[in-house]
């Protein structure tokens, strides 16, 4: 609270007290909502945290702006925008019996309409829209909706069952106990518009049973005939007892009665701030891979082929390479003109995160199209072609990490929220069902936590919160979830980590898992060789696991790389096929300072500080980025780079590798 000076209490809600405060840094008035958490139940704490998570997702001129949240005196403090004009309910009450003119009503209404549309595009249901939660600026010209304490984040087809909200604004389907979705907010919006025209609520009664009876029958006083037939019909359509017959928000916006006030709003108030688009697609030409042989010298400039002085077209900011699954030499994927900072690969997916927080995907075209398998009898297989695209429906959400499993993907946002999409088989999406979805959906069970890391195996997921709690879901056979059973779970389950350990990171293999606690004494206990400097120098641990193939890689701060575990194909880099139970130095990497190690299906990739890429292990189907060649000795992989570059991320899955490089 040292950043704020309390002025007065301006309200008391179901969960706490609302203070008007002065922000000392810029002398700006702000609202601080104080929510005591010490004596709350877990559900109440999750509801309080939910308001923070919802506010973080929203950014719109007609939605109360969120600033920050923090703990103070055993209470959650939420700092948000102050609207000095009071509530719309107070504004209506002060009118007494003096009806508003239609232009003023529509001026307010279209702003609420735009705000609610923004909320719904984030898959959020407000569930308590009312004039008391609609606030005004000091000139009483701009409206802002607020109070998302009982809002619920939904998928586009989800329906909520909990009966919440102010009784006068609840919809008939809630009264009947039926499931509802965004159409309940449309009903509440109709109630608000009716209140603007009539200066009184559409549904009021002396007691709850009488109120429910009125709502169920759709009985309310007629609207004044001073208003246009279009306005009266709009109210009637939103207050239709059948949810399916209520108009969608975009249908309301398209009605002639709303077009002029919407245009006036954009002219007079200013347009809605939009997300800055990514740069346009950079031209990508088909690349014919030619090998010059030999290792690229550090003195030789490295970079992206394709940009030249002749064409004047600059190369992309990043290059993405893939090999494996029949691609025997590094294939540069088509690239949007943006910088990729992290990549992940699944059995079928290839995904990356851009510097601006967008999710980019690379997809192969359908069988039989250009770049697909060659015709029977052909002597040479054509290189497959891929298409790059940004994931749709991500506006307003910043992704900071992506992890791919088999046919599904998990994303972590900068707000600590996990979103998943793809195949729902085995419950890998964590949504409490086995339904496939094509657009990212928030894992609602984790909304009460701030997640800091997520990792996907072939058919299971592990995640860590900022409180170092570990959650797991998906297939449970072989004990991969760490829950003490072999059962599958389609929603996150907390993993019991011994209290003396604090989870720092989770790693998923194909059907195994590992929790790194920051205390690596267990590694020291395995009779390490004298040459091994000890866990205190550990910089990175790489891990890959599948049936009969488990190995660990320790990358030290000095750049040395140690390996132990399965070694059937020489994947430990020891030039031997014998398994090892103690760490051994990878001698072939002595000349290279290793910064990143990654494990695939019986093969390994190591990245050096100068951008060198080395692979070893099983070579079938291009796993090593060279012609089929099985080797236990690390050997370089050649990238088609002619400008200086650094490797920003590498990912391996099964027999595939995905590599991102950035121009220096």
Residue-level pLDDT at 146: 82
- Classified as helix, coil or strand, 538 is strand
Top pLDDT among 482 and 284 is at: 482
**Residues 637 and 330 sit within 8 Å (Cβ to Cβ):** yes
| CA distances for 526 relative to 91, 532, 534, 548, 570, angstroms | 73, 11, 11, 20, 22
pLDDT for 203-219, tens place per residue?
988 887 888 888 888 88
Give the pLDDT mean for 35-54: 68
Q: What is the pTM of this model?
A: 0.52
- Going through 365-459 in order, the beta strands assigned E by DSSP cover 387-390, 399-404, 408-413, 418-422, 437-442, 451-456
Neighbours of 514 (CB within 10 A): 16
pLDDT for 71-95, tens place per residue?
777 777 888 899 988 899 999 988 8
Provide the percentage of residues in the chain whose pLDDT is more than 90: 27
Give the Cα separation of 302 and 640 in Å (integer). Answer: 8
- Classified as helix, coil or strand, 398 is coil
Select from 177, 139, 142, 134 the least CA-distant residue to 159: 177
Give the pLDDT mean for 358-365: 83
Burial of 290 (0-12, 13-18, 19+ CB in 10 A): exposed
Q: Lowest-pLDDT range, 428-437, 478-487, 562-571? A: 562-571
User: Which of the residues 43, 73, 101, 128 is marked catalytic?
Assistant: 128
In degrees rounded to 5, what are phi and psi of residue 284? -125, 125
Neighbours of 545 (CB within 10 A): 23
pLDDT for 405-417, tens place per residue?
989 999 998 888 8
Residue-level pLDDT at 455: 93
Residue-level pLDDT at 236: 94
Top pLDDT among 46 and 141 is at: 141
pLDDT for 267 beyond 80:
no
pLDDT for 105 beyond 90:
yes
Q: Tokens in use for 22?
A: 């002065």
pLDDT for 401 beyond 90:
yes
Q: Which residues contact 516 (CB under 8 A, 6 or more apart)?
A: 503, 504, 505, 506, 507, 541
List the beta bridge partners of residue 454.
Answer: 463
User: Which of 56-60, 136-140, 191-195, 572-576 is the most confident on average?
Assistant: 191-195
Q: Which domains does the chain have, with CATH numbers?
A: 4-81 (3.30.200.20), 88-268 (1.10.510.10), 281-286+297-338+536-664 (2.130.10.30), 342-363+390-519 (2.130.10.30)
For residue 128, indicate whether it is catalytic.
yes
Q: Tokens in use for 231?
A: 């306005």
Give the pLDDT mean for 214-239: 91
String of DSSP letters for 262-331? HHHHHHHT-PPP-PPPPPPPPP-PPPPP----SPPPTTS----TT--TTT-PPPPSEEEEEEETTEEEEE
**Confidence at 317, pLDDT banded by 50, 70, 90:** confident
pLDDT for 292 beyond 50:
no
Annotated binding residue 519: no
Q: Locate tokens 């993405």: which residue?
A: 320
Residue-level pLDDT at 591: 81
pLDDT for 513-558, tens place per residue?
888 886 544 343 333 444 444 444 444 444 443 333 455 655 555 6
Give the Cα separation of 223 and 225 in Å (integer). Answer: 6
**Confidence at 365, pLDDT banded by 50, 70, 90:** low
Q: Tokens in use for 503?
A: 């989870």
Top pLDDT among 221 and 627 is at: 221
């Amino acid at each position: 609270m040292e950043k704020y000076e309390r002025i007065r209490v301006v309200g008391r809600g179901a969960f706490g007290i609302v203070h008007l405060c002065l922000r000392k840094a810029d002398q700006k008035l702000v609202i601080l909502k104080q929510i005591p958490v010490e004596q709350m139940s877990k559900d109440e704490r999750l509801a309080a945290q939910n308001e923070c998570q919802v506010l973080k997702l929203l950014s719109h001129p007609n939605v109360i702006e969120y600033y920050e949240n923090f703990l103070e005196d055993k209470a959650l403090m939420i700092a948000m925008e102050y609207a000095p004009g009071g509530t719309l309910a107070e504004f209506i009450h002060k009118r007494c019996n003096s009806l508003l003119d239609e232009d003023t009503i529509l001026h307010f209404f279209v702003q609420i309409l735009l705000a609610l549309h923004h909320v719904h595009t984030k898959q959020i249901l407000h569930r308590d829209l009312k004039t008391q939660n609609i606030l005004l600026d000091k000139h009483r010209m701009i409206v802002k909706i607020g109070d998302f304490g009982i809002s619920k984040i939904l998928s586009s087809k989800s329906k909520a069952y909990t009966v919440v909200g102010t009784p006068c604004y609840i919809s008939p389907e809630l009264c009947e106990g039926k499931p509802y979705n965004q159409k309940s907010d449309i009903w509440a919006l109709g109630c608000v518009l009716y209140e603007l025209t009539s200066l009184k609520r559409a549904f009021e009664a002396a007691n709850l049973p009488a109120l429910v009876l009125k709502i169920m029958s759709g009985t309310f006083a007629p609207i004044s005939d001073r208003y246009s037939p279009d306005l009266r019909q709009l109210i009637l359509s939103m207050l239709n007892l059948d949810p399916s017959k209520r108009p969608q928000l975009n249908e309301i916006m398209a009605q002639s009665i709303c077009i002029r006030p919407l245009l006036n709003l954009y002219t007079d108030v200013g347009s809605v701030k939009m997300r800055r688009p990514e740069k346009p697609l950079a031209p990508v030409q088909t690349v014919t891979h030619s090998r010059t042989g030999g290792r690229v010298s550090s003195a030789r400039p490295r970079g992206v082929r394709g940009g030249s002085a002749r064409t004047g077209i600059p190369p992309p900011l990043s290059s993405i390479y893939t090999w494996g699954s029949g691609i025997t030499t590094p294939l540069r994927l088509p690239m949007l003109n943006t910088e990729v900072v992290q990549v992940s690969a699944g059995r079928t997916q290839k995904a990356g995160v851009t510097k601006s927080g967008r999710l980019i995907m690379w997809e192969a075209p359908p069988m039989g199209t250009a770049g697909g398998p060659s015709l029977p009898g052909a002597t040479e297989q054509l290189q497959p072609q891929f298409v790059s695209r940004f994931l749709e429906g991500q506006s307003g959400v910043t992704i900071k990490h992506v992890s791919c499993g088999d046919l599904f993907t998990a994303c972590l946002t900068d707000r600590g929220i996990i979103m998943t999409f793809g195949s729902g088989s085995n419950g890998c999406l964590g949504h409490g069902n086995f339904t496939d979805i094509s657009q990212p959906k928030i894992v609602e069970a984790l909304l009460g936590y701030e997640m800091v890391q997520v990792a996907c195996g072939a058919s299971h997921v592990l995640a860590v919160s900022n409180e170092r709690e570990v959650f797991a879901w998906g297939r449970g056979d072989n004990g991969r979830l760490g829950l003490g059973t072999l059962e599958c779970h389609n929603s996150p389950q907390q993993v019991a980590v011994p209290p003396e350990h604090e989870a720092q990171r989770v790693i998923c293999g194909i059907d195994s898992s590992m929790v790194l606690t920051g205390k690596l004494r267990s590694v020291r206990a395995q009779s390490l060789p004298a040459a091994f400097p000890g866990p205190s120098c550990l910089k990175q641990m790489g891990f890959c696991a599948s049936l009969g193939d488990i190995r660990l890689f320790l990358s030290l701060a000095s750049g040395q790389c140690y390996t132990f575990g399965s070694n059937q194909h020489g994947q430990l880099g020891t030039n031997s096929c014998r398994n090892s139970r103690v760490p051994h130095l990878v001698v072939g990497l002595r000349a290279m300072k290793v910064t990143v190690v990654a494990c695939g299906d019986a093969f390994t990739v190591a990245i050096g500080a100068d951008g060198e890429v080395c692979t070893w292990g099983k070579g079938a189907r291009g796993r090593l980025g060279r012609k089929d060649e099985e080797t236990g000795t690390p050997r370089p992989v050649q990238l088609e780079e002619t400008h200086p570059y650094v490797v920003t991320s590498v990912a391996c899955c099964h027999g595939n590798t995905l590599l991102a490089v950035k121009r220096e």
